[in-house]
């Protein structure tokens, strides 16, 4: 696969780099960022945390705002942050912020015009990890995390392919998208009007029938303006309780939906993953 390095920045003894590549899955040019800690090199491979960002974001939001590199450097943990959707003139788009480019929802679209490029689930769970493992000094040990729409993405990746991940976490995830306005709008466009097809992309519904359990942590801010209507963490909590899934759901007073919240708790989430990755 053709990788083009477009930026490089030294950070806490490691390197943050951005790359472009031609995605076979998405049929377009894609950008991703990778942070390699100082331990990664010719003689040592390190595990990877895949970070999935939210609506309107790119690979840059987390890498520039979360302040994760210091702890990742200490732990010896690589971080990979893909973009949130296909990009370019050839990829379908919409004027609204919550549909189209910047709003891929980490699913595989089945409806035109979206199905031509919008296969973000296959991209982040299959193509991108294969690319990373073939080109960087990393192991096959993976964790997955995300924020908001990306929290939804992290949850469904972990629940649909638990064999691929050691642990999963999310900040402010859309927990029950079949019953949330953001999810309903995106699912109707990408998947069609058959609501039964939506259930395969809903974390609360997938968790009910999980055959393999992973360590799972979710952090929610109680001052989040999207909490009750869009996020609905109680549905995930109820599903976990009903089936005995090991969910750690942490509620934090006065925190909102922003990256101020993510930056405040990112060290706790990274150390959660480190324990399960054996770091």
Q: Is 256 a catalytic residue?
A: no
**pLDDT at res. 260:** 98
Q: Is 148 a catalytic residue?
A: yes
In degrees, rounded to 5, the angle at the alpha carbon of residue 142 between the alpha carbons of residues 72 and 124 is 105
The dihedrals phi and psi of 34, each to the nearest 5 degrees, come to: -135, 135
pLDDT tens sequence across 260-275: 999 999 999 999 999 9
pLDDT tens sequence across 194-228: 999 999 999 999 999 998 999 999 999 999 999 99
Q: What percent of the chain has pLDDT over 90?
A: 98
Overall average pLDDT of the 60-83 stretch: 98
Q: In what order do the strands lie in the sheet with 138-146?
A: 3-11, 14-23, 28-36, 78-82, 46-52, 138-146, 167-171, 216-221, 247-252
Q: Of 16, 152, 176, 257, which is the active-site residue?
A: 257
- Confidence at 42, pLDDT banded by 50, 70, 90: confident
- Confidence at 56, pLDDT banded by 50, 70, 90: very high
Q: Is 257 a catalytic residue?
A: yes
**pLDDT at res. 1:** 54
How would you classify the pairing of strands 78-82 and 46-52? parallel
**pLDDT at res. 2:** 85
Overall average pLDDT of the 138-161 stretch: 98
What is the CA 135 to chain-centroid distance, rounded? 21
Q: Of 85, 148, 167, 172, which is the active-site residue?
A: 148
Q: Of 11, 125, 224, 273, which is the active-site residue?
A: 224
């Amino acid at each position: 696969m053709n990788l083009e390095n477009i930026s490089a920045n030294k950070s806490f003894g490691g390197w943050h780099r951005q790359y472009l590549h031609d995605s076979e899955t998405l049929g377009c040019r894609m950008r991703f960022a990778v942070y390699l800690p100082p331990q990664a090199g010719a003689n040592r491979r390190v595990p990877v945390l895949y970070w999935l960002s939210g609506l309107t974001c790119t690979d840059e939001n987390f890498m520039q705002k979360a302040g994760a590199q210091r702890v990742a450097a200490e732990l010896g943990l690589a971080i990979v942050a893909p973009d949130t959707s296909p990009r370019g003139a050839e990829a379908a788009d919409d004027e609204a912020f919550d549909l189209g480019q910047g709003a891929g929802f980490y699913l595989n679209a089945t409806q035109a015009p979206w199905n031509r490029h919008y296969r973000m689930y296959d991209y982040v769970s299959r193509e991108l990890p294969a690319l990373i493992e073939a080109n960087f000094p990393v192991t096959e040990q993976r964790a997955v995390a995300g924020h908001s729409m990306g929290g939804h993405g992290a949850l469904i990746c972990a629940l649909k392919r638990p064999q691929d991940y050691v642990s999963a976490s999310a900040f402010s995830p859309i927990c029950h998208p079949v019953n949330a306005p953001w999810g309903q709008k995106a699912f109707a466009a990408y998947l069609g009007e058959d609501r039964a097809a939506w259930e395969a992309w809903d974390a609360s519904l997938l968790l009910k029938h999980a055959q393999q359990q992973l360590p799972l942590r979710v952090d929610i801010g109680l001052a989040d303006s999207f909490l009750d209507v869009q996020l609905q963490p109680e549905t995930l909590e109820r599903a976990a309780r009903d089936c005995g899934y090991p969910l750690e759901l942490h509620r934090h007073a006065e925190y909102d939906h922003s990256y101020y919240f993510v930056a405040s708790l990112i060290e706790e989430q990274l150390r959660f993953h480190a324990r399960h990755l054996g770091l």
